[in-house]
A and B are shown apart, each in its own frame.
Chain A
């Protein structure tokens, strides 16, 4: 399939959906403070990552801050970018799942059905953003810490894959509240935990199909780009470039 054909197919997909939730990340605002990381872990019952998890490269962080180095002392620079599931319209992780545990829902979310997942890990293998996490062990919390767990979010057992859901439980709750009260959802009513926490307002969430939404305006900013857009994944996440008046080339560094 050529790129154009793929785009066309994605456009068809897009027109079929009622909403298309997406995020815009202004990396010129992001300070790398990690508030989003802990907010996400708290909201989504993400397991406690101890040092062994990190040593074995099995730490689960639905959102993480990637740090890229550029240059050497005294001209060294560190740049930050929040990385999480991009909820791609043409998600490489979706077609490889043999049991349809991951699929695209009608709100543009790339959804993981935990009780369908059999843990082949094909999706993580195919995911260019490295934002899918496999549960190598049963998650354990000391009894008292379980009091904090969010009852709206299921705990993932050993042997299955998990990832950022754009806090689908908040989207659902907001939808139900709107239905109950009769007041339609407005732009900004739904915020995933990371967006809510972000002290610099670097993360903005909303319906990309709503032309009056903040994300819709921001994604057309001249600094807008998408990570690995040339791969043809058609992500729902847009990034706004870091501004550095001393920058000589576009983008640099290693993680």
Chain B
């Protein structure tokens, strides 16, 4: 029985004191001392509101609800209604709050005069930019990050109207992956991998639980893949990668393969499936035209020596794929980061055809195109070979104006390209960054953009859940600084230069597209939203904003699919990977990996993300190099020893971390630190491994082979402790009573 003060007084007043005292002996009726905040009479409760919107993290758009109190964003939570969010969210989405309220946000438009930035008004900023765009027409470039939204349409249109070259910057480019997806499936966007209904997942370097693709949706599916209530048996995950990524650590079996040999493994698995006649008959006969019996037997014979994985293991995997239907085979990351990356990934995704899982539950489900033409869903990342040309053009003075938004190429491109110098040769550089990153520091004009939580947009999930899904991003707080929407600025400039902009503002673009969605909902009677027959827009608009988007579960993509014989023909002789640097001078393979928290560096300014322990090493706020324990003792290295990692194109310093799951042949280093700017939490911390990558290209696509750099290691003789959570505090296990308990059934 709970007694509040007032109830007690009331009862005493009614002469019930005796009963009260008698009750003291009985535990149920003892006085429970309540802390003052529990007195309902005195409590003034803050009012909270939740708004659905999207945040743009380095791993793509996430649908979230934001808790707002008194006009301030307090908490990010996953949107339970959205198909790829399911009420869940990542650490990166949560940290968008710190981006919004970051102390080092650029406060308003600024112009560089005499080497330092001076605040200017938005009128002056727009005027300056208009003049620059007008004068530089034909000799200008706009550089943005990858995007799949209507804002991207604004950029495309702007580039077209004013004759700018549009380049898309991504430090770990997906070029090879998208080519492979197109080669095998004929699709322009990633399909949905229906992990949750699958029985077996074979992953080649795809860290789908950590840093690759939509990890929140993948993780939600993974939970059900393991212990879903409707499953007969637990799914099995096998991961092949030269490094123990988060996904590898969660796999039932993880195999180390020689870097760049993923395609050979995939083709050997295909050969075994074809030999045994256990695969999809149509696909088997198509593939066997190229994988003739002599090719197959040669693959099987040499696989162990070429890949470092024993034939018996590969046979087990091949059998598991066909015995545990539906199985999904997925590849990304390091598997595509080699000179033969496109071939590797093509061979890997081809296995899905042999497994016969395409269009099936528990298999690969294609994503249909969005019903709105204003939504640009595909954009080709500019490859490293193209960046080389762009750099040269800049150095030759062919680029007079560069506009840069949501991209930090000065940080993210290998130092050998010397993009910093190239950008200096551009007469006028305009940055739309919210933060003073390395690229923005070189700008002549800064027009800070809103953060995700302050802007309008309409986007598609990448990848979608297998049906049409459109998300709405709405501002949930007033702009925190004197920033302006990047899209709105471009539209204003177009207007100022006497052309008709596609919309007045991004918001009006969102509304216009929402009206199109309403008519689709009404006329075709589909979608998740309430529509009134009279066609009034208000109700539709409100319910669109409340739900965070529009989706139509019924609208699935066609599963029509046939293997492209030209593509298969190319797989007959998969080329050997090439590496930069001789084995003699550079004995280690360098495996850069995206950080769980700070991503490829774009999250380095946020203290929550810096403070997330790396799932495997548990290290934080620093750059470390993971080395095999025996190798380390052979070289006399201990944890915290500072070593120089040198490639043929540069060197960085990092602290040693002894890593029991690292092969003696490789060194792995997290990407993301080593910023020269980017706010107080990122500046001068650790080293940037991207800077020492050799600009070695995938031989067909020209994409950066970021896994193909070889390095050597030299101790510097100095030592500093590595900040990490491992060993600092842990549950105090007693012998025989481990903290993590394991069962084999």
State the A residues within 8 Å of B (CB).
16, 26-29, 31-35, 37-39, 41-43, 48-52, 54-55, 57, 59, 61, 64-69, 71-74, 76-81, 83, 106, 113, 128-131, 142-152, 172-173, 176, 179, 193, 196-202, 223, 225, 227-228, 230-231, 239-248, 250-253, 255
| Bound form: Cα–Cα A113–B33 in Å | 12
Shortest CB-to-CB span from A158 to chain B, Å, is 19
Q: Does B114 contact A (CB under 8 A)?
A: no
**Per a CB cutoff under 8 Å, which of A31, A113, A130, A223 touches B35?**
A113
Please provide the 10 A-B residue pairs with the shortest distance between their CB atoms, ordered closest to farther.
A251-B738, A200-B223, A199-B219, A142-B103, A76-B661, A54-B723, A51-B621, A38-B91, A78-B249, A57-B728
Segment of B405-413, B511-519, B608-616 engaged in the interface with chain A: B608-616
| Bound form: Cα–Cα A28–B223 in Å | 8
Main secondary structure of the interface of B (DSSP, over half): loop
| Bound form: Cα–Cα A68–B615 in Å | 11
Contact A247 B743 (CB under 8 A): yes
Contact A66 B730 (CB under 8 A): yes
Q: Which residues of A contact B249 (CB under 8 A)?
A: 32, 77-80
Contact B597 A247 (CB under 8 A): no
24 A-B pairs whose Cβ atoms sit less than 8 Å apart in the complex: A28-B234, A29-B222, A29-B226, A34-B91, A38-B612, A39-B91, A61-B725, A66-B731, A73-B256, A73-B629, A80-B249, A80-B740, A146-B101, A148-B101, A150-B75, A179-B40, A197-B78, A197-B88, A197-B89, A201-B220, A228-B731, A250-B742, A251-B740, A255-B730
Given known contacts A31-B209, A34-B596, A73-B662, A227 and B739 CB-to-CB distance under 8 angstroms: yes
Given known contacts A37-B91, A128-B731, A223 and B737 CB-to-CB distance under 8 angstroms: no
**Per a CB cutoff under 8 Å, which of A83, A152, A242, A253 touches B743?**
A242
Contact A197 B741 (CB under 8 A): no
Given contacts A54-B620, A66-B730, A201-B224, 16 further A-B contacts (CB under 8 A): A26-B227, A27-B740, A33-B596, A34-B597, A35-B91, A54-B621, A66-B731, A68-B739, A69-B660, A76-B661, A130-B730, A144-B101, A148-B73, A199-B223, A241-B743, A243-B742
Chain A, residue nearest B222 (CB): A200
Q: Which residues of A contact B733 (CB under 8 A)?
A: 228
**Per a CB cutoff under 8 Å, which of B660, B685, B728 touches A73?**
B660
| Bound form: Cα–Cα A196–B226 in Å | 19
Q: Which residues of B contact A106 (CB under 8 A)?
A: 2, 32
**Per a CB cutoff under 8 Å, which of A29, A193, A227, A241 touches B75?**
A193
Q: Which residues of A contact B22 (CB under 8 A)?
A: none
| Bound form: Cα–Cα A144–B726 in Å | 31
Contact B743 A42 (CB under 8 A): no
| Bound form: Cα–Cα A66–B2 in Å | 39
Q: Does B76 contact A (CB under 8 A)?
A: yes
Contact A65 B741 (CB under 8 A): no
| Bound form: Cα–Cα A61–B2 in Å | 33
| Bound form: Cα–Cα A179–B95 in Å | 33
| Bound form: Cα–Cα A46–B299 in Å | 55
Shortest CB-to-CB span from B681 to chain A, Å, is 8
Given known contacts A26-B227, A51-B723, A54-B728, A242 and B740 CB-to-CB distance under 8 angstroms: yes
Scan residues 198-257 of chain B and give those whose CB is less than 8 A from a CB of chain A: 209-210, 215-216, 219-220, 222-224, 226-227, 234, 244, 246-247, 249-250, 252-256
Chain A, residue nearest B249 (CB): A78
Contact A81 B740 (CB under 8 A): yes
Given known contacts A151-B69, A251-B742, A201 and B223 CB-to-CB distance under 8 angstroms: yes
Q: Which residues of A contact B105 (CB under 8 A)?
A: 144
Given known contacts A42-B75, A51-B620, A197-B89, A34 and B728 CB-to-CB distance under 8 angstroms: no
Q: Does B186 contact A (CB under 8 A)?
A: no
Shortest CB-to-CB span from A191 to chain B, Å, is 9
| Bound form: Cα–Cα A227–B253 in Å | 26
| Bound form: Cα–Cα A90–B332 in Å | 49
Q: Which residues of A contact B616 (CB under 8 A)?
A: 67, 78
Q: Does B480 contact A (CB under 8 A)?
A: yes
Q: Does B97 contact A (CB under 8 A)?
A: yes
| Bound form: Cα–Cα A128–B219 in Å | 31
Contact A31 B661 (CB under 8 A): no
B 1-44 binary contact with A (CB < 8 Å = 1; else 0): 01000000000000000000000000110001001001010010
Q: Does B607 contact A (CB under 8 A)?
A: yes
Q: Which residues of B contact A251 (CB under 8 A)?
A: 737-742
Contact B223 A32 (CB under 8 A): no
Q: Which residues of A contact B246 (CB under 8 A)?
A: 31-33
Of the candidates A79, A200, A242, the one having the most CB atoms from chain B within 10 angstroms of its own CB is A200
| Bound form: Cα–Cα A57–B75 in Å | 27
Q: Does B575 contact A (CB under 8 A)?
A: no
Q: Which residues of A contact B98 (CB under 8 A)?
A: 145, 148
Q: Which residues of A contact B166 (CB under 8 A)?
A: none
Shortest CB-to-CB span from A72 to chain B, Å, is 6
Q: Which residues of A contact B95 (CB under 8 A)?
A: 38
Contact A48 B611 (CB under 8 A): yes
Contact A241 B608 (CB under 8 A): no
Given known contacts A33-B90, A67-B618, A243-B234, A145 and B101 CB-to-CB distance under 8 angstroms: yes
Chain B, residue nearest A128 (CB): B732
Q: Does B45 contact A (CB under 8 A)?
A: yes
Contact B732 A35 (CB under 8 A): no
Q: Which residues of A contact B227 (CB under 8 A)?
A: 26, 28-29, 240
Contact B94 A33 (CB under 8 A): no
Scan residues 685-738 of chain B and give those whose CB is less than 8 A from a CB of chain A: 685, 721, 723-734, 737-738
Shortest CB-to-CB span from A114 to chain B, Å, is 10
| Bound form: Cα–Cα A133–B250 in Å | 29
Shortest CB-to-CB span from A4 to chain B, Å, is 19
Shortest CB-to-CB span from A130 to chain B, Å, is 4
Contact B78 A34 (CB under 8 A): no
Shortest CB-to-CB span from A44 to chain B, Å, is 10
Given known contacts A37-B612, A144-B103, A176-B45, A68 and B97 CB-to-CB distance under 8 angstroms: no
Contact B103 A145 (CB under 8 A): yes
Contact A28 B252 (CB under 8 A): no
Q: Which residues of B contact A48 (CB under 8 A)?
A: 607-608, 611
**Per a CB cutoff under 8 Å, which of A49, A67, A200 touches B611?**
A49
| Bound form: Cα–Cα A230–B315 in Å | 44
Q: Does B744 contact A (CB under 8 A)?
A: yes
**Per a CB cutoff under 8 Å, which of B72, B89, B661, B737 touches A147?**
B72
Q: Which residues of B contact A248 (CB under 8 A)?
A: 744
Contact A38 B69 (CB under 8 A): no
| Bound form: Cα–Cα A240–B223 in Å | 13
Q: Does B628 contact A (CB under 8 A)?
A: yes
Q: Does B74 contact A (CB under 8 A)?
A: yes
Contact A66 B88 (CB under 8 A): no
Chain A, residue nearest B597 (CB): A34
| Bound form: Cα–Cα A196–B732 in Å | 28
B 58-83 binary contact with A (CB < 8 Å = 1; else 0): 00000000000100111111100000
| Bound form: Cα–Cα A48–B97 in Å | 14
Q: Which residues of B contact A225 (CB under 8 A)?
A: 741
Contact B613 A35 (CB under 8 A): no
| Bound form: Cα–Cα A172–B39 in Å | 11
| Bound form: Cα–Cα A148–B70 in Å | 11
Q: Does B46 contact A (CB under 8 A)?
A: yes
**Per a CB cutoff under 8 Å, which of A52, A54, A173, A227 touches B724?**
A54
Q: Which residues of A contact B75 (CB under 8 A)?
A: 42-43, 150, 193
Q: Which residues of B contact A131 (CB under 8 A)?
A: 729, 731
Shortest CB-to-CB span from B8 to chain A, Å, is 16
Q: Which residues of B contact A151 (CB under 8 A)?
A: 46, 69, 74
| Bound form: Cα–Cα A101–B215 in Å | 41
Q: Which residues of A contact B738 (CB under 8 A)?
A: 68, 250-253
Contact B608 A79 (CB under 8 A): no
Q: Which residues of B contact A128 (CB under 8 A)?
A: 731-732
